[in-house]
Amino acid sequence: MSLLKKADEVRAGFFNTLQEDPARVDLEALRIEYLGRKGKVATLFKQMGQVAPEERAAFGQTLNQLKQELTEALDERESAAAAEKHSTEEAKIDLTLPGIASPAGTYHIITQSLNDMIDIFGRLGFSVAEGPEVESEWRNFDALNILPDHPARDMQDTFFTKSGHVLRTHTSPVQVRLMQSQPPPIRSIMPGKVYRNEAVSARSHAMFHQVEGLYVDKRVTFGELKGTLELFCREYFDEDVKLRFRPSFFPFTEPSSEVDISCFLCHGKGCRICKQTGWLEILGCGMVDPAVFEAVGYDPDKVTGYAFGIGIERPALLRYGIPDIRMFYENDLRFLRQF
């Protein structure tokens, strides 16, 4: 049998197989059988030595055309099979079905409340300052007019470290750092975590959050303090909320005051939440004591200022009607997902 006739038989056998049911044809096996290194086309090339020298060029050209023809036919069939598979997979997708929603995360209720307060004070012209949670006794107490033998130290049960530092009991040390680092005017709030060695209950916790504020400039008045806090409470709680300023005592402010808001649950009539008084205590405030200015290097004869401090957890309890402060930290998703 001549080699040209063998080449024709190889071509015919290839296309006969290719024309069979596509589901039954293994294209990769067909490629190996005919175009592999030991395939039928390669075998024909190895038999070139049997061809007369004057006919080898023509026979080689015939084999190259055969190889190209088989390769193109296989590539075309593979492309068609891939397109058909893709079309079939797309046909299985029902575009009318609802999609699979990815659950969206959200901020913790404490972070939401903190951000709300920062936003309100930001619109009132306050910047944000932060500081470390482990502080020196001097910044946490002495610089704030709370000396070692001062009875006010008994008001705050403190966590002490072995190095003699403390876990800050308020964010007031950030006020001290701020005044030490820059001259007045200062108008800033200090949000963050604070720690006190207290029994954990429905109304108190050993770790909680505060936002303190400080405004220092020439001729700052208590009237400005009242106006600032009234605007904040109306924005955060309710436009119709009523405020009550009661005289109080804080070592770092003089005069000092505590601020109550009208109970928005009973509207001042008296209930369990407000202990039948119609009022809810939310913050403490006052004019910065001259002794604090002297400790940080300010001249109390040239500047005045006010300071205030408000917790995050208690206003959030009141705002959202949450009965127990511990719920903020139990990581119960049934509770957290409500916010």
Quote the tokens at residue 151.
Answer: 């009875």
Q: Where are the domains of the chain?
A: 3-91, 109-336
Render pLDDT for 142-156 as a digit per residue (tens, 0 to 9): 999 988 877 666 666
Identify the residue with better confidence: 62 or 260: 260
Residue 1 pLDDT more than 60? no
- Closest by CA to 273, choosing from 240, 207, 281, 206, is 281
Cite the DSSP H helix spans in 94-194.
Answer: 109-123, 137-140, 172-181
How many other CB atoms are there within 10 angstroms of residue 129's CB atom? 19
d(CA 275, CA 93): 61
pLDDT at 118 over 80: yes
Lowest mean pLDDT among 28-32, 158-162, 187-191: 28-32
pLDDT at 124: 94
Q: Indicate the average pLDDT of the chain.
A: 85
Q: How confident is the model at residue 304 (pLDDT cuts 50, 70, 90)?
A: very high
pLDDT digits (tens, 9 = 90+) for 162-183: 888 999 999 999 999 999 999 9
Instruction: Report the pLDDT value the prediction gives residue 156, as an integer from 0 to 100.
Output: 62
Note the Cα 15 to chain centre separation in Å: 62
Task: For tokens 């500047």, name the residue.
Answer: 303
Cβ atoms of 209 and 194 closer than 8 Å: yes
Which of 249, 247, 251 lies closest to 291, judged by CA?
251
The whole-angstrom separation of Cα 2 and Cα 10 is: 13
* Edge-to-edge strand list for the sheet holding 243-250: 127-128, 186-195, 207-217, 304-311, 279-288, 253-262, 243-250
Per-residue pLDDT, 154: 65
Q: What is the pLDDT of residues 119-140, one digit of tens each?
A: 999 999 999 999 999 999 999 9
More confident residue, 1 or 83: 83
Taking only Cα atoms into account, the Rg of the chain, rounded to an integer number of angstroms, comes to 41
pLDDT at 203: 72
Give the per-residue pLDDT at 287. 97
Q: How confident is the model at residue 125, as a pLDDT? A: 94
Per the DSSP assignment, residues forming a β-bridge with 160 are 166
User: CB count, 10 Å around CB of 135?
Assistant: 23
Q: What is the pLDDT of residue 103?
A: 77
Percentage of the chain beyond pLDDT 90 is: 40
How far is residue 210's CA from residue 190's CA, in Å, rounded to a whole number? 8
Q: Which fold has domain 109-336?
A: BirA Bifunctional Protein; domain 2 (3.30.930)
Q: What value does the mean pLDDT take over residues 223-247? A: 90
Give the model confidence (pLDDT) of 21-58 as tens digits: 666 777 788 778 877 888 887 887 787 777 777 777 77
One-letter identity of residue 246: R
In the numeric block, which tokens belong to residue 233? 């409470």
How close are the terminal C-alpha atoms of the chain, in Å? Answer: 87
Query: Could you tell me which residues come within 8 angstroms of residue 201 by beta carbon, excluding any fewer than 6 positions away?
Result: 325, 326
What is the model's pLDDT at position 300?
94
